[in-house]
Structure 1
Amino acid sequence: MSAENILEALDPEQREVALSLDGPVCVLAGAGTGKTRAITHRIAYGVATGRLNPRHVLAVTFTAKAAAEMRSRLRDLGVPAVQARTFHAAALRQLRHFWPRVVGGPLPQLLPQKYPAVAEACSRLHLSVDRAALRDILSEIEWARVSMLTPESYPEAAARTRRPGVAGFESRSIARIMTSYEEVKRERSLLDFEDVLLHMVGFLAERPDVAREVREQYRHFVVDEYQDVSPLQHDLLRLWVGERRDLCVVGDAAQTIYTFAGARASYLLDFPREMRGATVIRLERNYRSTPQIVRLANTVLDGARGRTRETRLTLVSQRDDGPAPLIESYPDDLAEAQGVAERIHELLQEGRSAADVAVLFRTNAQSEAVEEALTGRGIGYLVRGGDRFFERQEVRRALLTLRAATAVESEDPSHTVRDTLGQLGWSAEPPAGTGAQRERWDSLNALVNLSDTVLARPGATLTDLVRELEERAEAQSAPTVDGVTLASVHAAKGLEWPVVFVIGASEGLMPISMAQTPAEVEEERRLFYVALTRAKDVLTVSWAAARTPGARSSRKPSRFLDGVIERPEPRSPQPRRSGRRGATLLDTCRVCGEMLAEPRDQRRGRHAGCPSPADPALLEGLRAWRRERSRENAAPAYTVLTDATLEAIAERDPSTDEQLLAVPGVGTAKRDRYGEDILAILARHRS
């Protein structure tokens, strides 16, 4: 592309970024303002004008997916030679090159998973820890190392920064675990990802020949998401750059949500002081969200304090008007989950794709109720977070099995894929359960869907599919899944959806109850802001007055909604319902008359162990009708009504539309579509 064509694709502020090729540059880029476009076009413009040599440019970001996206855009702009990598990938490449010269011998093996090594470190100290405690200890070790702390300096730093006790252990015990963990790695000649960065910092600081060679190779640096840089990454970057001033950093202090992992927004905010004479450019034109959503997000930041308020960007939407965001309240968490699921069902009935919808929450524990509510309506979903797609055990096994299957020529590769993945737990229809079982099925089903796309190409073979999977695994480019996304706000960072539901917007969840200091509360505000700015067209924010049905309504809406709502009273818990227009909940079992304590039992109306009072003949009649409708719809039977819903209908024997609507899993869309048929079947059975 010509230099003129590159600039034509940019707005005035983005163009200023592209033209600023001399000296240090700090780009303050708000959510949805096109920062990746700005920095990739800056690199392309510099190459097109001869100001930058593409082989001397290093673009750094934080995730493999973001790096792959940047490489793709740079290729489209005609500059494929530019290196775009994560901090760890760039440092690892350099470490492999210099290790034989500086240390001697081959680079030690990288530790694929830290959990076993940390577990052994605890075992050597005779400390009993479960998986959850192990996760917390590992996170604390990672924070200490990216903060460049040793086991000796950790206790003092933990006290100074008011780090809470981890998994029931005080700071000196964590320091002992850190020491033991280092011994485990040293005995087995293993390195973890923090070691990669630490060793490169040491090589560059102590070996002038190494520093000279790196700086000769890379003369121009661009760093994305600079608000997430840790002290260790900052030191590495400064050693890469040396005395040069060819550094462009991009970030948004209002999206700093990883301080618990060592991120420091101060590096972004203090960049003009650190690099004297730096050009500062603000990107505030939002291309992602409607003006109504942007207005709500700006209002949330209006209440910020400290540096977040002083340095905030005020977004200006470039989109046409859309619907106003909804702020909804529910009597309890189950009602909230049912209400959200019912609204999603209505959106799907209106033609929305499930992949267009996301439900975001503060803690992973909030996911379960939403999973159950979606499952009850036959709506597919995927839970985002945890292991990355290609690092999941079922995906790794599937890739190994498919690779082995390429040894035998297949006349029908698509059948081979289904047969192979079927042996690993895939089936044509999703399982009835939720949680890990459903997540495994979603992973394997995503591979099946991707295989259909790849194998539809003329002449495509199983080998072609495996090759594409390997390339995607290297780039961490997970296949898309046609389901509603359920994700914590942290896992949703950097993503966007046309429709977003933010649940749990109450005190104790947003902000989380553990946020005690003003700084911690401000991070929670930024987290809420990130959640809101994931939405493109439709945004709903909701909160529940109580945790469980019938409990005291002690929750209040989040303080972050001050200025947005006038502190509405929660909906009356009478009559108690599991959704906005969903099913009534029962307190006593229909069969034995005893109290029902479990939410699932309350929705079912009886204990799980009590036999269903439904007439088997009626239940069979309903199933026969469902099979017929399933054939007419050319869709799986569960998409009409699930087994649990049919059973509830047979048990409750509703005779009116309103009574039918109160059955779990029915909802307005199902009632409008199937209600007449169902009530007719029930009436015939009664007569």
Structure 2
Amino acid sequence: MQIIASAGSGKTEVVSQRVADLLVEGVQPEAIVAFTFTERAAAELKERIEARVTTRLGPEIIDQLNGLFVGTIHSFCFRLLQQHVPKYETYDVLDENQLAAFVSREARRLGVRQFDPKQRLFASVQRFLQNVEVVDNELLEFNDLPDDFQTVLENYYAALTRYRLLTFGQQIRAAVEELQKPDVASRVHETLRFLIVDEYQDTNPAQEELIRRLTGSDTELCVVGDDDQAIYQWRGSDVDNIVTFERRYAPVTTFEITSNRRSRPEIVEVANGFAQSIPNRLVKEMNPTRPAEGSSPRVLVWRSADEMEEARWITDLVLDLNEAGVPFRDIGILVRSGVAFGRLLEQFNAFNVPVQPGGRTGLFEQPEAIVLGMTYCWLSGINWRKPYQYGEQVELSSLLDQYATVFKLRGEPHKNRVKKVIKQWQEHAQTKDRSADLVGDFYELLDVLEVRDWDFDNLVRFNALGTLARFTSLLADYESVRRRARLDAEVHGEQVGGEWGGEWYYKNLALHIVNYAQGAYEGFDGEPDLTLDAVDITTVHRAKGLEWPAVFIPSLTKKRFPSFRTGRQQDWLIPRPLFNATRYEGTDADERRLFYVAATRARDWVSVSRHDRVTTQAVQPSPYWEELEDHQTDPNDIVLPPIETQSDGDVDTLAITFSELASFLDCGLAYRLRTLVGFPPRLAPELGYGKAVHHLLRHVAEHTQRTGVVPTDDELEQMLDSHFFLPTANKVGHREMKGAARRLIGNYVKNYEPDLHRVWETERPFELHLNGVRVSGRADVILDKEGGVPAGLAIVDYKTSADSDIAAYELQLQVYANAGRREGLDVRAAYLHDLNGTREAVAVDTSRLGSAEGIVEGAATRIRDRDFEPSPGKRCRACEVRTICNARAR
């Protein structure tokens, strides 16, 4: 089935109704998989499905939807790999920044520098990864590639395997490869009956191959999309997937939903006219359903003398809209690229126009990040250099003066305390036998900078705090990759530790900051706050799927929109005949689709503008602006039409994991700083120990279920050798913790063998739906035959740490037991099993579960109300963010 859903037609509603129809027909939730393009879209779709199903089947049905998958293709693939391919259980996924740091670390061993004519490290890494992305997107065969690139590529994939890492592209490629194996394919297809793909026009060849392999004689495929809104070709998406769908999947039933419920008729008319200029599109035309209202134009096209004047006019119009009753949050400013942000933000700041946070500026455009970046250059003897500028040596006195200005230090004594800290860092960088702790050391600096005394209610100060969190994440990304252990190629079952310090550990960090991070890391995104009344200024790509009553599309000049990079031929490492290079390099059709997306975000009013000059340099108008000249007006003559503000609607359900909930209950302020602001934990050698033990217990249980007998000592040792991996432990630490795991699991097998014959399911996901909140989590193991009843179940949660919060574990088990019963399972008991010794029963009677519900709902209310009350006490001594907390126990 193919559903062509035009802009504003209610595509999310169509998908949610499709899923609801299936559930009403009696299809089991686990038989349905729905792919979305983003996690945000997944959350929206899931909530919409729950609302529609509740209306048709009653509220009780929500608790029985646990098996329904709604999420991104990447998350589905990772779940598939971890569920069906044991080796992937201990793998971690690298994001783009971590991947760049990883390849920089491995560059010499891989021979990556050969791909840059000047042998520059970071230029060669960028070029290599750009081509790797194509290999993964297109599922290219390695043997077809040039020998030099093929050799490095094979070594790169081998390195990722040694370190137990996956990339975003590899997740899909690996899933496709595994689905070619009959046993994996049969297990996946055992339950899958309906596959729904939203935003199908944005799928790439690898994703299309995954979809093809998931579709079969027993699995119905339904794709939903609009070829006019295909805007991700530069990341590999292929609009031909949706254009040729009917031919490739025949016989196909196609539905067209062309009623535009979003925009006023004049906006729809302009968008329809512009869409006609897009070549090779599916023939269709949107039909408006909202009435025309008022005589003032809904589409305005205008020009200004220069970029600053354009920004001033937009600012005046935003203020006029607000004075006319339009909330700031109902106004969107959509640009082709970030180069257009500067003047707009400058004017908005000058006239106190509130702006939604959103990572629209680079991290190193913030003064705090610049000073900190210079610090790591100073201590490692690397010249500091801003992009496209010459480098210069950092002088300590000048650096300290900048600290004083940016962080508002209190006189010379305070400056000297900062000096003492960074001088210690410099000494550490030159000490060979000292282990580095970048994140931990950075938190100590924040203590000396007295960040804990900042007023977090002051937006400027809070955004600076967010900048510090982003910088800490940069350090954590670098450290997690540099300290990552790998499998020992010489000794099976052992691992080799990563880098732990030394002069070049710090030098490479400084080089990473100067040459990569400055251009790659975005600034603070801000906290989720649905009550914030502020203008949304963002790129068109980020605006996909969103809408505003009033929309501005500025900077329609010849080199900005369409982008001057469009169609520029690149020097690929991959022969052009092997793939459609033009798709990645961009075409005018791609840019036209992007402008179409921008224009169709508007509900009531859209402004399209350009400037004649940037400052003194004349610029040519965009051809798109010229094509809309019939709507041109003088900005002095603009009369605003009536604009219907968006309803706040129902309060969104708070979706939270149990781990996040437990963190909030432990301390509201720590939860805010870690989860919402984004301060990461420091890396510890024992990181991942509990996870590794849990995975081993799963293997022990599955072995017992499969063979009918518990594993022998030799078999346990083989499991340990194959599956016990600690991401940051060195060889000695790994041996010690492996020995500890061996004792724990050996004792469990010896003392609780009957349990292993009762395993009903391991790592079982649960979701508890309460008033305004959905809590998700995963139980370690579920036993059957509880109390001698075949269908009677007991949930068991394993504990490996002696100082764990028992109350949190009890609440967790009560939440899971409640969710299980609501799902229809006969959950009769719950146990907290300390792998170091005892097992304790946790009460799951109706009264206790009711009390647990009250705790969860109360916490959810506090989170929505932004009540992040601190809970000082003994816990503060082990808290990662204590140095930025003014409520910490002394």
Aligned pairs for 1:292-371 within 5 A: 292-305=266-279, 307-308=280-281, 311-322=282-293, 323-371=297-345
Instruction: Please give the secondary structure, in 2, of the residue aligned with 1:71.
Output: helix
3-state DSSP of counterpart to 2:15: helix
Retained in 2: the 8 A contact 1:142–1:194? yes
Structure 2 partner of 1:602 = none
Give the structure 1 partner of residue 376 of structure 2. Answer: none
TM-score (norm 2): 0.48
The one-letter amino acid paired with 1:313 is K
**Secondary structure, counterpart of 1:423 in structure 2:** helix
Give me the TM-score of the superposition, normalised by structure 1.
0.61
C-alpha root-mean-square deviation of aligned residues, in Å? 3.8
Distance of aligned partners of 1:510 and 1:387 in 2 relative to their CA distance in 1, 3 Å threshold: closer
Matched, 1:93 2:79: yes
Q: Partner of 2:23: helix, strand, or coil? A: helix
Q: Quick one: which of 144, 160, 177 aligns to 1:185?
A: 160
Aligned residue for 1:483, secondary structure, equals coil
Match of 1:483 among 534, 544, 549: 534
Question: 1:115: Cα distance to partner?
Answer: 2.5
Distance 1:148 1:243 in 2: 24
Q: In structure 1, what is the equivalent of residue 101 of structure 2? A: 116
Higher mean displacement: 72-81 or 521-530: 72-81
1 CA distance for matches of 2:533 and 2:257? Answer: 33
Q: Which amino acid aligns with 1:287?
A: R
1:149 counterpart = 2:140: yes
Alpha-carbon distance, 1:560 to partner: 2.2
Query: Deviation digits for residues 215-235 of structure 1, max 9, x if unmatched?
Result: 111111111000011111111
The amino acid of 1:125's aligned partner reads: V
**Which has the larger displacement, 476-485 or 286-295?**
476-485
Structure 1 pair 64–426 and aligned structure 2 pair: CA distance change class (3 A): farther
| Mapping for residues 219-238 of structure 1, pairs under 5 Å | 219-238=193-212
SS at match of 2:85: helix
Deviation at 1:383, TM superposition (A): 5.1
In the TM superposition, residue 372 of structure 1 has moved relative to its aligned partner by 0.6
Q: Distance in 1 between matches of 2:267 and 2:159?
A: 50
* Per-residue CA distance 1:230-274 (angstroms, 9 max, x = gap): 111111111111334511100000001111111111111111111
User: Could you tell me which amino acid in structure 2 is paired with residue 498 of structure 1?
Assistant: P
Measure the CA separation in 2 of the matches of 1:133 and 1:216: 45
Checking the alignment, whether the CA contact within 8 Å between 1:381 and 1:483 is kept in structure 2 is yes
The equivalent residue for 2:23 is 47
- C-alpha change, 1:426 and 1:270, in structure 2 (3 Å) is farther
Alpha-carbon deviations, 1:144-189, whole Å to 9, x = none?
311113566467xxxxxxxxxxxxxxxx987777556435423322
Q: What's the CA shift for 1:133?
A: 8.4
Structure 2 counterpart of 1:316, which letter?
Answer: N
Structure 2 vs 1, CA of residues 278 and 527 (structure 1 numbering), >3 Å: closer, same or farther? same
Secondary structure in 2 matching 1:539: strand
Matches within 5 A, 1:531-610: 531-548=598-615, 550-552=616-618, 554-556=619-621, 558-566=622-630
In the aligned structure 2, how far is the partner of 1:66 from the partner of 1:216?
Answer: 27
Query: 1:565 deviation in Å?
Result: 1.0
For residues 220 and 527 of structure 2, what CA distance do their matches in structure 1 show? 30
Match of 2:49 in 1: 74
What is the one-letter code of the residue matched to 1:285?
S
Specify whether residues 496 and 566 from structure 1 end up closer, same or farther in structure 2 by C-alpha distance, changes over 3 A only.
Answer: closer
CA, structure 1 residues 105+424, in 2 after alignment: closer, same or farther (shift >3 Å)? Answer: farther
Residue 356 of structure 1 contacts residue 499 of structure 1 at CA under 8 Å; is this kept in 2? yes
Deviation sequence 1:332-381 (CA, Å, 0-9, x none): 21211121112112222333222111111111111111111100111121
Distance 2:256 2:70 in 1: 23
Correspondence for 1:467: none
| Counterpart residue identity of residue 102, structure 2 | A
Counterpart-to-counterpart distance in 2, 1:134 and 1:564: 42
Q: What CA deviation, in whole Å up to 9, does each residue of 1:81-121 have, x standing for no partner?
A: 22212111111111111122xxx584423225322113334
User: Cα offset for 1:288?
Assistant: 0.9
Kept after mapping to 2: 8 A contact 1:256/1:265: yes
Deviations 1:19-69 (A, max 9, x none): xxxxxx10001011011111211221222133x332211111111111111
Structure 2 equivalent of residue 428 of structure 1: 457
Q: Does the residue aligned with 2:356 lie in a helix, a strand or coil?
A: strand
Q: 2:328 & 2:465 partners in 1: Cα distance?
A: 16
Tell me, which stretches of 5 or more residues in structure 2 are unaligned?
55-60, 370-449, 472-525, 569-581, 639-890
Alpha carbons of structure 1 residues 377 and 136: separation in structure 2 relative to 1, 3 Å: farther
- In the TM superposition, what are the counterparts of 1:282-681 in structure 2 within 5 Å? 282-305=256-279, 307-308=280-281, 311-322=282-293, 323-382=297-356, 384=358, 423=452, 427-431=456-460, 440=467, 478-480=528-530, 481-516=532-567, 520-548=587-615, 550-552=616-618, 554-556=619-621, 558-566=622-630
1:542 Cα deviation from its structure 2 partner: 0.3
Aligned residue identity for 1:54: P
Matched residue type, 1:222 = I
Partner residue in 2 for 1:680: none
Seen in structure 2, the aligned counterparts of structure 1 residues 422 and 218 have a Cα distance that, compared at 3 Å, is farther
Residues 1:492 and 1:179: Cα distance change in structure 2 (over 3 Å): farther
Contact in 2 for aligned 1:144/1:154 (Cα 8 Å): no
Q: Which residue in 2 is equivalent to 1:125? A: 112
Secondary structure in 2 aligned to 1:118? helix
Structure 1 unaligned segments of length 5 or more: list them.
1-24, 156-171, 395-420, 445-475, 573-579, 581-687
Give runs of aligned pairs for residues 236-275 of structure 1, distance below 5 A. 236-244=210-218, 246-275=220-249
Q: Secondary structure in 2 aligned to 1:143? A: helix
Tell me which residue corresponds to 1:616: none
